[in-house]
Structure 1
Amino acid sequence: MSDLIVIVYRSLDAAFVAGENLAALQQEAGTEPEDIVVITGNGKDRVSVNQSIDLATGSPLGGGRWGTLIGMLFLDRRSPEASEGGLAARLYDAGLDPKFLKDVARSLDKGGAAVGMRVRMLGADRVVDRVKGLKPSPKVLRTRLSPEAEEALYDMQDQIPGQALAQLQAGGDF
């Protein structure tokens, strides 16, 4: 089991400082790299995912899989119910908590930034304790992922490239 944690700040600078602190915490704990991403929002409809990359390879640190998923949490503000359709419904069907999905999707409605990460070996409580010690105090959103939910999220992500390619080949926009 693991946790998805999203830490919301009104300040971009505070979010980037928190991301750096969490990366340092991972190194101190000697755990395997997990994706830590900073998501920025302009308060309207633009969301950007800022992910650490390995300068030698150009690849995201930690593989990029969870960073991409965390970025997707911010894209669909609709109610995450199965009957609604869309990305929020697919994340809900995969096993994510609907309140968590709704809170994350709307957390940057007034702008600001958030730090998101998946936590396994490091421990969610250590992460939360580290960021609560930083100023300004953030809003922390978190949800527990069952092994079944993690598997469903992996499956969902594995389908994305194929769906995008099919849409482009059909003459649609991606």
Structure 2
Amino acid sequence: MSDLVFVGFPTEQKAEEVRQRVLALQREYLIELGDAVVVVKDANGQIKLNQLVNLTAAGAASGALWGTLVGLIFMMPLAGTALGAASGALSGYFTDVGINDQFMKDAAAALQPGTAGLFLLIRKVTADKVLADLRGIGGTLISTSFDETKEARLREALAAVCDSAPATPPAPATGA
């Protein structure tokens, strides 16, 4: 069973930075993601999804390859490439993998204009290590499918002050 987490951030750069951090945790096998999407709400209220994989481009490339091969059989490789790329791009455009795009756009309506959010579809997680790594990253937990205890721990980790912050210098000593 997967869990869905939606965290809001003040900027697109911060949301992308956190996504890269979570992807690094995935490379360390501490978390397994089904999807990680940065959503941006611009100043005009338009919502843009930054997916990990551009399925339209991948479909076009795959279609062009297969179209070329089929075109070679019929002695029309250029026509096969063009038709394959077009059909691949079209199929990639209509394919939705991971989190439903319309759901993300509807949920992102809660964001303030000029801000961003990060959707994470989490399949498996080593919660204590991931929360420790994400401690103090900031952000606001907007929505989650976690139970109350996990959600509270995530809120606490997001809001926690990072331990690596420099300590406040001591007040200067006054001599008598």
> Partners in 2 of 1:66 and 1:117 — Cα distance?
10
Shift of the alpha carbon at 1:120?
Answer: 1.8
Per-residue deviation, residues 49-103 of structure 1 (Å, max 9, x unmatched): 1112289x8269xx95224x1x423434xxxxxxxxxxxxxxxxxxxxxxxx5xx
Contact 2:35 2:121 in 1 (8 A): yes
Contact 2:38 2:116 in 1 (8 A): yes
> Partners in 2 of 1:141 and 1:125 — Cα distance?
21
The alignment-based identity, stated in percent, is: 24
> Partners in 2 of 1:14 and 1:130 — Cα distance?
15
> Partners in 1 of 2:10 and 2:126 — Cα distance?
25
TM-score normalised according to structure 2 size = 0.50
Match of 1:3 in 2: 3
SS of match in other structure, 2:53: coil
Structure with higher Rg: it is: 2
> Partners in 2 of 1:30 and 1:124 — Cα distance?
8
User: Runs of 5+ in structure 1 lacking a partner?
Assistant: 77-100, 146-174
Match of 1:105 in 2: 109
Per-residue deviation, residues 18-48 of structure 1 (Å, max 9, x unmatched): 0100111111116655211111111433111
The match for 1:75 among 89, 93, 105 is 105
SS of match in other structure, 1:16: helix
User: What RMSD, in angstroms, separates the aligned Cα atoms of the two structures?
Assistant: 3.3
Shift of the alpha carbon at 1:130?
Answer: 3.7
Match of 1:131 in 2: 134
Match of 1:143 in 2: 144
Moved over 6 A (4+): none
Match runs of 1:116-127 below 5 Å: 116-122=119-125, 127=130
> Partners in 2 of 1:3 and 1:142 — Cα distance?
11
